[in-house]
Amino acid sequence: MTAHQMKVPELVDAVNDAIGDFTGKTGTTSDRTVFRWLSGENRWPQERQRRALEAVTGLDATALGFLPRGKRNTVPPALPKDPDVRRRKFCSAATGTAAAAVIPLNTPSASRPSRVGTSDVIRLRDDVERLVALDADRGGHGRLERAALAGADEALGLQKQSTTQRVRQRLFALASDFTATAAWSLIDAGQLDGAGRHLDRALTLAGLAQDPEMTMQVWNLRAMLARQRKQYAEAVASAQAAQATTIVRRSPLHASLAHARTAVGLAHSGDKRAALRCLGRAEDALSKADLAQPRSTWIAFYGPAELHSLTAIVRDVVGDPAEAEAASHRALAALPESYRRNRAHTTARLALAQLHQDDVEQACATSGDVFAIMAGAPLPGRMRQLLGDFQRDLIARAPSAHIAHEWTDRYRTEWSTS
């Protein structure tokens, strides 16, 4: 239930919908039934309920902690570290070559009943996770944006058919999430003109959903967009708006991200003291967060590694390149291998920090690692811009023009064709 972000009534709806899918008649599972499962009073649900639970969660009944009759004295099997096996496999498949070329979203079965319910919410949430997994592998691009907008359109179409306010709000939240994903794809691709329009729409949908987390996500992306546009006052204001959301007051993880994003904006605004103060608050908040708890897909990237990466940006911008280099190394040590795009981006920041210490030879070698990390995948526009910053600073700082020309000649082909 935590992994799917479901409350008891939503699980009841999902189970009853799943029963209806394979029997033709909606189930009669009640809130009390679920509470009996949770308390252990009922250790082995009825067959149709077990089948429905397995369909909803992607796990068999014993993996969910239930025990067949006659085996009550045995020790229940331990849940896997990643309890949502179906979703993990689904996201892994999405990062393959075929998914990179075409990004089809899940579509409901032709035999599906027309009733819109929690099962539709779960299916669309899987689609969001699929797109986020693809983004983590290769970054923002046009097909990702179009797929995300198609998901938003489907969610909005389904909410018109929803019979309950709870499901309707969930679908509005998913439409906001899809639209924010489309905006992020444009930001990462360096195509900033359409991103603001998507974020305006995503913020409206988050309001209709009455979802503070989606609202925080939009303000976080708004801060990133403003920084890319060099509108640093707006970047700070957007990050502060993220800080003011209800989810930030409840969640140290979200609070940490909001403070870190504010620190980046303040650093670019030239306020070093305030930027470092915000970084300290981000570190304090993250130390209080339970990183083992399931979280929404959009913020899955955030943790110690990302905070180190943002620290590297702040430190480099305020004129502390040695501290920036150290933070970049810490980020790379903590980054999961699957976050290829993040690793390449952090490596580019590391090269800049080394260059700003006039360690030109090492900086050139480090920057070359970016192309090796992203081999086989195009460089997102945001990464190209960062490498452009590196090239400009290299030309300004290199002891001879030959070094800068050599770097440019060496990577021109990879840079232009990536």
110 burial type by CB count under 10 A (0-12 exposed, 13-18 middle, 19+ buried): exposed
236/269 Cα distance (integer angstroms)? 9
User: What are the C-alpha distances in Å from 181 to residues 79, 158, 401?
Assistant: 31, 19, 41
pLDDT 10s digits, 203-256: 999 999 999 999 999 999 999 999 999 999 999 999 999 999 999 999 999 999
Q: What is the pLDDT of residue 9?
A: 78
Question: What does 117-168 look like in DSSP terms, one character per residue?
Answer: -HHHHHHHHHHHHHHHHHHHHH---HHHHHHHHHHHHHHHHHHTT-SSHHHH
CB count in 10 Å sphere of residue 395: 14
pLDDT 10s digits, 337-369: 878 888 999 999 999 999 999 999 999 999 999
327/321 Cα distance (integer angstroms)? 10
Question: What does 76-121 look like in DSSP terms, one character per residue?
Answer: PPPPPSS--HHHHHHHHHHTSHHHHH--PPP---TT--S---HHHH
Q: What is the pLDDT of residue 139?
A: 65
pLDDT 10s digits, 249-281: 999 999 999 999 999 999 999 999 999 999 999
Do the beta carbons of residue 256 and residue 307 sit within 8 Å?
yes
Do the beta carbons of residue 96 and residue 130 sit within 8 Å?
no
DSSP helix/strand/coil, 28: coil
Q: What is the pLDDT of residue 416?
A: 56
pLDDT 10s digits, 137-156: 666 676 888 888 999 999 99
Tokens at 390, concatenated: 């590196």
Single-letter amino acid code for the residue at 220:
N
For 172, the enclosing helix (H) or strand (E) is helix 165-189
245/268 Cα distance (integer angstroms)? 23
DSSP helix/strand/coil, 222: helix
Q: Is the pLDDT of residue 328 over 80?
A: yes
> pLDDT band at 31, cuts 50/70/90?
confident
b/e code 68-95 from CB counts within 10 Å (16+ = b): eeeeeeeeeeeeeeebbeebeebbeebb
Can you list the alpha helix ranges (DSSP code H) found in 298-339? 304-317, 321-334
207/225 Cα distance (integer angstroms)? 20
Q: What is the pLDDT of residue 137?
A: 61
As a whole-number percent, the residues of the chain with pLDDT over 90 amount to: 45
Instruction: Pick the closest to residue 202 from 188, 186, 189 (CA basis).
Output: 186
User: What are the C-alpha distances in Å from 70 to residues 47, 74, 75?
Assistant: 16, 9, 12
- Higher model confidence: residue 399 or residue 105? 399
Instruction: Pick the closest to residue 201 from 187, 188, 190, 214 (CA basis).
Output: 214
